[in-house]
Amino acid sequence: MTFNQYLEQDYTALIDACNKITGNNELALDLLHYAIEEIAQKENLQTILDSGGARYYLIRIMITQWRSQTGPFYRQFIKNHQDIGDFDGQVPETEEVDIDKIAGLIENLDWYDKELFKLYVDGDHNYSTLSKETGIPRTSIALTIKRVRKHIKKNL
């Protein structure tokens, strides 16, 4: 059995396991895809598949990465996701923000930053879905979004 055949066969069960691990967190699919990328890079992947241990191996990767606050998944997704917060275009009632100024700051960005940020905010995307849609690596997306947010905060 190839790895792709295994994924086609077991993908729904892996999604269910990932949702249980994360408590249905919005980063669940990011975690699953991270684990899939991790196992796909293993030199002994075929041995893992042949032994029937692929699901166990993937679930262990997901649990370890979800619980670790020093691991690569945390640094790449959770920490960056927390930095962005719940920016969905809504302004907190306690703060008075000039929407036109924010729009101007966004319009003055270079085209790449501007378009990526607009897709992220307007398209209701997370890093993984935006990465799939654009073909841009998730790490680049996370860094760009973080840089744009920092630019907006600095200039308000």
pLDDT band for 17, please (50, 70, 90 cuts).
very high
Distance of CA 16 to the CA centre of its chain: 18
- Residue 62 belongs to domain spanning: 3-67
pLDDT band for 56, please (50, 70, 90 cuts).
very high
As for how many domains the chain has, the answer is 2
**125 Ramachandran zone, left/alpha/beta (phi>0; psi -120 to 50):** beta
Is the domain of 46 the same as that of 87? no
Is the domain of 58 the same as that of 86? no
Is the domain of 89 the same as that of 142? yes
Average pLDDT, stretch 124-141? 85
Is the domain of 102 the same as that of 138? yes
100 is a domain residue: yes
Token duo for residue 65: 């990465």
Query: 135: domain CATH number?
Result: 1.10.10
pLDDT at 102: 83
Q: What is the DSSP letter of 69?
A: S
13 is a domain residue: yes
**135 Ramachandran zone, left/alpha/beta (phi>0; psi -120 to 50):** left
Distance of CA 82 to the CA centre of its chain: 11
Q: Over pLDDT 70: what percentage of the chain?
A: 88
pLDDT at residue 94 greater than cutoff 60 = no
Residues 6+ positions from 107 with CB-CB distance below 8 Å: 114
Is the domain of 47 the same as that of 92? no
Token duo for residue 146: 């973080």
77 is a domain residue: no
